Chains A and B, each alone.
Chain A
């Protein structure tokens, strides 16, 4: 359904725009029907940038993003609106997503104005009520209020309801849980699972591995703009292959076991990360000489499980 092909995003910074900041580097992956894909990465990994590119808010520097085979950046006019009818997003900060001077319902009114200009009022109200109930909100509790009168959890669900008004097929959820309280998090998460069961695909962007494990079918691990590991969630968590994934798994605070002794804390003087060698080279405990010279390719080590690593990457390491 959605495919990214070698997508790269480079920002120009510095006084005359001479310095380059590589946010996303040659990322390729696909999202199919009815699946939740977790995009996992810490700050600086490029995960939010990827989400925003999929939502057509940023333009990639190179590479193509295809939806149903068509390049989304070539869409104009009605075709573009059609894209947004099928692909929508929800962001991290529930309060920032609302224009503070208007009531929260306005986000629904915008959808109506742009996508259903001729619908009758009663039909629209019914649609809105259905969408609200589908996300577990009581319409009489939340309609007609200002954003600051609702809680974070309610606002996030409101936004998901907004997306549902459009018959979407793909929802980009960028850290939508992180600003919610512990008691509401799990409910919103369960909601995403229910939506998946009803036919929706979700790109779940997060830095929290336990959330990713709970909800996703496949996981993609990003480090500094590159995919380092990709595959079925259970496989990745049971048998992490890339040293970065291993480090992540070790470092997340768990409630079923204490942190063990730190296995590695390496800091090599960085050799232009991302430009010439493996992007994880400066911190990698198992790095070898080739890692500083060549960017490792994403190789399939077992069915559906990909790793970009010279040492653990199976096929590419033997050829290297």
Chain B
């Protein structure tokens, strides 16, 4: 059966086998195949000699170059840090005012801060730092813990109600759930509080109700939110007169706040971000606020 024949197209002999009509030519393997086989093998051999490659029971060949991906990246990181030292030393050591006055440094702060903020903070505070429900805006004048670069840097370092040992701690008590105030009292104080930042609300409410709300406020809230309800940065109690609110200024949200209390949680970045990164972020935020509305 193994009758070889010559293929008229290529001129090569067949192997003489046939399967269901399929035949095979006995064409020699083109030289180029062997060439590349050897070339890639040679490349591999060289690579094996230079690099960690072959296992030997309880160890492996380390390669002539002594290359190790972990050392390489460690060196790269060190070099990168050294390379950045031309400006990072200044940011680390100079005062906030001095840095803010330095256009060149502030350009770097904006560049670097934007990515740091995007990767770490934007999830809560939004990409534009304008906040969202439950997470405060960082571009307003309304700061819970103070808006100076120092205060912001400290907030970032220790967090708010975080597990960090120096954390800033704050809590809005649950006046309703814990039975400190009655339902009507809460309704009244909610109206009153809303009228503080929104005169239109004040007009729509009966003066008697407003007065009662004010009384409740004086008895229960000024301790934290202050005589004028402008907040207290010692306690992290927000200003209730401005147009910013963390949890929303509508009646339902304010009611929920007073009824159930609040305790926002801002993580500490002490062990996650370097002091330099945190300082850049504080400067970045101050800068953003200055540029913002």
Q: Do A and B bind each other?
A: no
| B contact residues vs A (CB 8 Å cutoff) | none
